[in-house]
């Protein structure tokens, strides 16, 4: 393997490790680069050495036959601090309302949520999807083929539910015009804050 080839393989390996996020098996790296496993290990070792010489905050870590691109341990407290702020951010009232609408009526479209709430909900739906509490459930067979949304397993875990059947019952329609009890979900907000 020439120096030029090695540099190209290192870039490919780096891209694979970065995109993987989690530890990636060296066999997968070898297959992707279309080289044998021993050659892939040599490339990964060379990449690891380059990161060590660079003295940045990122390193290539070997975990038996798996490899991962990750931050160095001395930056853990800073990373933890940065993401704790985001993790503990409570859901807004609007987010709880949209989440309740989706949870009790799923799968539903953004237009349905907006009709129930009476205001634009596209930003709230995007936020809930980014947090992993809802996901796309396909497209409805309606004009324009709108995207339908449903809750995720993270939603159940975050609110301490084993299944959707464990959700609080919907209030009598005679008692309230709004069919969606966002107050019940708001009561369980503290569970979400600690689990996300």
The two tokens of residue 44 are 């990964």
Helix 26-33 vs helix 37-54: angle between axes, to the nearest 10 degrees? Answer: 100
Q: Which residues of the chain have pLDDT under 70?
A: 84-89, 157, 160, 162, 172-196
Predicted local distance difference test score (pLDDT) of residue 193: 46
**What is the CATH classification number for the domain harbouring 26?**
1.10.10.10
- Same structural domain for residues 70 and 130? no
Return the pLDDT at 39.
94
pLDDT of residue 196: 42
Number of structural domains found in the chain: 2
Q: How far apart are CA 135 and CA 151, in angstroms?
A: 6
pLDDT value for 51 = 93
**Is 81 domain-assigned?**
no
Copy the structure tokens of residue 138.
């396909």
The confidence score (pLDDT) of residue 85 equals 54
Structural domain containing residue 11: 3-75
- Could you tell me if 125 and 166 lie in one domain? yes
> Is there a single domain that holds both residue 178 and residue 128?
yes
pLDDT of the residue at 82: 80
What is the predicted pLDDT for the residue at 66?
85
Query: What's the pLDDT score for residue 100?
Result: 92
Spatial separation of the C-alpha atoms in residues 185 and 81, rounded to whole Å: 27
Question: Is residue 140 in some structural domain?
Answer: yes
Give burial (CB, 10 Å; 0-12/13-18/19+) of 188.
middle
Per-residue pLDDT tens for 164-196?
A: 888 888 876 545 444 445 554 554 444 444 444
Of 49, 75, 101, which marks where a domain is finished?
75
Chain centroid offset of residue 194 CA: 16
- Residue 70 is assigned to a structural domain of this protein: yes
Residue that terminates a domain, selected from 53, 75, 97: 75
Residue 80 included in any domain: no
Q: Which residues contact 33 (CB under 8 A, 6 or more apart)?
A: 9, 12, 13, 40, 43
């Amino acid at each position: 393997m020439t120096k030029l080839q090695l540099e190209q393989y290192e870039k490919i390996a780096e891209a694979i490790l970065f995109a993987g996020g989690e530890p990636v098996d060296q066999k997968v790296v070898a297959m992707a680069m279309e080289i044998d496993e021993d050659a892939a290990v040599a490339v990964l070792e060379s990449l690891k050495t380059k990161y060590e010489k660079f003295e940045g905050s990122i390193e290539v870590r070997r975990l038996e036959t798996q490899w991962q691109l990750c931050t160095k341990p001395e930056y853990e407290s800073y990373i933890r601090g940065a993401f704790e702020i985001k993790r503990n951010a409570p859901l807004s009232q609007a987010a709880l309302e949209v989440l309740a609408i989706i949870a009790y009526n799923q799968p539903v479209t953004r237009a349905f949520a907006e009709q129930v709430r009476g205001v634009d909900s596209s930003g709230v739906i995007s936020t809930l999807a980014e947090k992993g509490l809802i996901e796309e459930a396909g497209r409805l067979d309606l004009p324009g083929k709108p995207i339908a949304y449903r809750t995720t397993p993270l939603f159940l875990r975050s609110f301490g539910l084993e299944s959707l059947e464990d959700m609080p019952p919907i209030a009598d329609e005679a008692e309230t015009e709004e069919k969606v009890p966002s107050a019940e979900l708001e009561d369980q907000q503290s569970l979400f804050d600690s689990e996300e």
